[in-house]
A and B are shown apart, each in its own frame.
Chain A
Amino acid sequence: MRELAVSGLQKAFGPHPVLTGLELDVPAGAFTAILGPSGSGKTTLLRLLAGFEQADAGTITIGGRVVDGPGRYIPPERRKIGYVPQEGALFPHLTVAHNVGFGLLARERRGGRTAELLEAVGLAGLGARYPHQLSGGQQQRVALARALAIRPEVVLLDEPFAALDAHMRASVRSDVQRICEQAGTTAILVTHDQDEALSLADRIAVLRDGKIVQYAPPQELYTRPADAALARFVGDANLLDGQLADPALAGSDGARTVDTIFGALPLAPAQPAEPIPPGNVTVLIRPEQLELIAVPAASPGTGCLSGRVVACEYYGHDAVVRVQPDGGPDGLEVIVRTTGAPRLPAGSPVTVRARGPVIAWTR
């Protein structure tokens, strides 16, 4: 069942187009992230879904009901949409319990629904406090409980973790995911943080220039981004020039190869049945697909290149080493993610080995 469907959505503020024909289908119960750089129109999309703004063109359907479309506009209070804005926006003049019970009828408030919700978000017993007496993470949980109180069909989360410090963020994130899952609510999370989107969402829609450029599960988005710019946006990426051989020259197993500075690397089988034509391509190699061999081989074999360390950034759980290939063009560097490698001083000779398959786009 389709819980939320958006088609042909357009919105401009004065002469500035923000959304230009956006399409999106979100299945019931899914946790979907809308990922985009700041200024890409994420918040505008969310405000249109919530009904705080009205679309210039296009249709929004929630639970089979058109809430915004030609000649039709349902105001926010009748959409049954839970909204968790940035920084929570708790009502500062109300206690936690009254915040959570704000959208409930008096009968429901007395019926213990408030306590039940506070319990669910792990804040049982804090109902008498005021928002300013809570930590940032607690405020976000109250904001979520308040949104869930009205048993919404969809919960909209507008960068709810941006204001939290890194430590708090992880625990609040996973709690929010769990609570939404338990409530069986369809959730839409807007974020500019790709780690957040990749780790939380069932599916990710990437917003760029007012359109969705890719809508896919996290693994697919990371391993098979729609284009090179997207590849770089969802994570660290080595984007290298390559030459794709003619399919007629493919090996006996039918796998095609692409020529790069690493030599010939196997090309991942094309997912859509549309093979890339031979010629100049851009090749994506994620840093974790590269492996560092500290002892330089006399003559690097296929899939390997020799080079010198430019810099090494140590993160504890892993390290990122930037390597300049020997004989490569000036300024060309490859990024290698290694675990547990000893810190290498700049200038150390190393060998880098690539593990295929790789993906490529026509250049």
Chain B
Amino acid sequence: MSTVPDVRGEGSAQSDGGAAGAVTTLPAGAALSGRSAVPARRARRPAGLLLIATVIAALLAVPLVFLLIESSRAGWSTVGSQIFRPLTGTLLWNTVRLTVAVTAACAILGTATAWLVERTDLPGRRVFAVLLVVPLAIPDFVVSFGWSSLFIWVQGFGGAVLVMTLAVYPLVYLPVAASLRAADPGQEEVARSLGAGRVRTFIRITLGQARGAILGGCLLVALVLLAEYGAFEMLGYQTFTTEIFTNLQLPTEVPAACALSLVLVAISLVVLAGESRWRGGGRVARSGPLTQRVMPPLRLGIRAKVLSVACVGVLMALALGLPVGASIYWIVEGGVPSVSDSVSVSMLDAAWHTAAYGVSAAAIDTLVALPVAVLAIRHAGAARHFLERSTYLVLAMPGVVIALALTYFTEQYLDSAGYQTAPLLVLCYAIMFFPLALVGVKAAIARAPASLDEVARSLGQGKLAAFSRVTLRLAAPGLAAAFCLVFLEVVTELTATLILVPTGVQTLATQFWQYQSSLSYGQAAPFALVMIAVAALPSIALGRFFNRSADTRGMER
């Protein structure tokens, strides 16, 4: 659910291409033989990379293709009649009003907290900078569990808005904080010198600089909301995703599941298109070297200070304290003995499976994203455009839809062999989180200018040797970050896992879900805490990585 600043990868990539925006890589054959087989000597295309990337793009499109095939098998008229019925209207209204409300709340909350932490002398802002990101590590369904298990009134639309806002606002906070930190303070100073007041400067310049980041964050929030299952199921709030999930359980409801999936994908595409249109001419031109000058923080008055700390403190208590506190409460309430030996055995087993799936999917995604990222960063052109669009397709496919497509595929073509096996589950994760890995890997590759590879080649290193001795080494922290990101997502994934988890196997999320569904809160709570612990470490590492990369960018040049 969490993609971190897309804005960064793009921006720094621009400056690295240097004079040679065009293609520089040679096909492997020419490099090895020292002789060109091509009679007309023209600028070379990176043929090998393009081939790999095209195969990947094709794989990413597979779930959508299956969804369409399955729909047509069910008969388009049946599917149509499933779409045009009152239920769809209800679901649409539920989904849209929730998306609008939560996205708006997150935009305000995320931007305000980011501004307080990055631009003012808020007391304890270094601690808050870390704490504000931690809710990312708490699965949305655990936040929902914390609230709904303690307070009966947390349910329906209001409950969903409250829970989801607290669970996902860091998706706006994180990119906005990064962009505020990296923004050129000169612009604000110039605005002030031109007679714009503080408020006007904030609205015209500061918000303008953060616009891309705010929009990017809102996009992620909207996509998470469209894909969420667990939290809404607990709150008794009906959306497309929960309805698809229910239909998926019943073999007779295949056309309905397909129909609703198509509508959900269509909504996601609309959201994606809207974001890219709004972002529009949001490219930032930057003159001069990328020196990082630190903006002197705005000094808050004593009253503003107290108020701000109180607000951020309350937010932390609600978003972080309450879910964790509720889990501890239920453990204590159930009596520690109720967390019996059988729980601890199943806990170890579940943790092992969760970790194994997470590591596999993260490794696959990081590796597979590498060629696509190199192509995207170092070889601008039509191919790059095409590939980025194809990852968009995946972004528009919520986990439940991808899982559904893979389920129908195994039923239809593999005679159910492979259904609910570890490889299929890992494949599902890998597809779901590929766009996320790609963002991270692109940012990592952008940190290693192509000119360094060229120097390495002029010093006698072959193409692959230069890449591994220079680019990979420089990109390593970013690649690790991408790996952590995917791992974190897999650990906290519930929807697709419930559908595809191998028979007889439990992950932390599914075991939690099982106990929670049977109202065994005392037994569910330890799993919630372990999930938070497992996910918290990578997310803190991630926060540190993005802080550092913003701080050292100037230095490396």
- A-side interface residues toward B, CB under 8 Å? 13-14, 43-44, 47, 50-57, 70-83, 85, 87, 89, 91-93, 102-103, 132, 146-147, 149-150
Contacts and interface: CB of A to CB of B under 8 A. Distances in A.
Contact of A83 (B26, B39, B458, B470): B458
B553 to A, nearest CB: 11
Centre residue among A93, A132, A150 by max chain B CB count within 10 A: A93
Given A73-B36, A87-B557, A89-B449, A14 B22 contact: yes
A78 B462 CA distance: 9
Given A76-B457, A83-B454, A92-B556, 7 more contacts: A14-B22, A56-B42, A75-B26, A75-B34, A75-B462, A75-B463, A89-B455
Interface of B: 18-22, 24, 26, 30-31, 34-36, 39, 41-44, 449, 451-452, 454-463, 466, 469-470, 473-474, 555-557
Contacts of B470: 91
Nearest to A81: B458
Given A44-B19, A71-B39, A73-B34, A53 B459 contact: no
Contacts of B43: 13, 53-54
A79 to B, nearest CB: 7
Given A52-B24, A92-B474, A77 B30 contact: no
A51 B36 CA distance: 13
Contact of B20 (A47, A70, A76, A91): A47
B19 A43 contact: yes
B20 A102 contact: no
A150 B31 contact: no
Identify whether the interface residues of A are mostly helix, strand, loop, or mixed: loop
B22 A76 contact: no
Contact of A54 (B34, B44, B452): B44
Contacts of B41: 54-57, 70, 73
Contact of B35 (A73, A85, A93): A73
Contact of B36 (A71, A87, A102): A71
B474 A52 contact: no
21 contacts: A13-B21, A13-B43, A43-B18, A47-B20, A50-B458, A52-B454, A55-B41, A56-B42, A57-B41, A72-B34, A72-B36, A73-B30, A73-B34, A77-B458, A78-B460, A81-B458, A83-B454, A85-B455, A93-B474, A102-B456, A102-B461
Nearest to B466: A77
B480 to A, nearest CB: 14
B289 to A, nearest CB: 9
A136 B43 CA distance: 34
A76 B458 contact: yes
Given A71-B36, A83-B454, A77 B44 contact: no
Contacts of A91: 452, 455-456, 470, 474
A132 B474 contact: no
A339 to B, nearest CB: 36
B473 A93 contact: yes
B36 A83 contact: no
Contacts of B452: 89, 91
Given A83-B455, A85-B455, A92-B474, A77 B20 contact: no
A54 B462 contact: no
A98 B58 CA distance: 42
Nearest to A44: B19
Contacts of A44: 19
B455 to A, nearest CB: 5
Contact of A102 (B22, B459, B474, B557): B459
A247 B213 CA distance: 75
A84 B287 CA distance: 24
Contacts of B455: 83, 85, 89, 91, 146
Contacts of A89: 449, 451-452, 455
Contacts of B451: 85, 89
Given A73-B36, A75-B463, A82 B26 contact: no
A319 B455 CA distance: 43
A20 B454 CA distance: 25
B459 A150 contact: yes
Nearest to B21: A13
A74 B34 contact: yes
A83 B458 CA distance: 6
Contacts of B26: 54, 73, 75
Centre residue among B21, B458, B461, B473 by max chain A CB count within 10 A: B458
Contact of A77 (B24, B449, B460, B474): B460
A78 B460 CA distance: 6
B454 A50 contact: yes
The 9 A-B residue pairs with the shortest CB-CB distance, nearest first, are A103-B459, A83-B458, A76-B457, A43-B19, A73-B36, A89-B451, A77-B457, A77-B460, A92-B556
Contacts of B463: 75, 77
B459 A71 contact: no
A137 to B, nearest CB: 16
Nearest to B552: A132
Nearest to A85: B451
A321 B42 CA distance: 52
Nearest to B456: A102
Contacts of A85: 451, 454-455
Contacts of B18: 43
A213 to B, nearest CB: 21
Contacts of A102: 456, 459, 461, 469
Contacts of B461: 77, 102-103
A150 B455 CA distance: 12
A47 B457 CA distance: 12
A91 to B, nearest CB: 6
Nearest to A50: B458
A75 B31 contact: yes
Contacts of B30: 73, 75
A47 to B, nearest CB: 6
Contact of B458 (A53, A71, A147): A147
A108 to B, nearest CB: 11
A149 B458 CA distance: 11
Contacts of B466: 77
A281 to B, nearest CB: 39
A13 B22 contact: yes
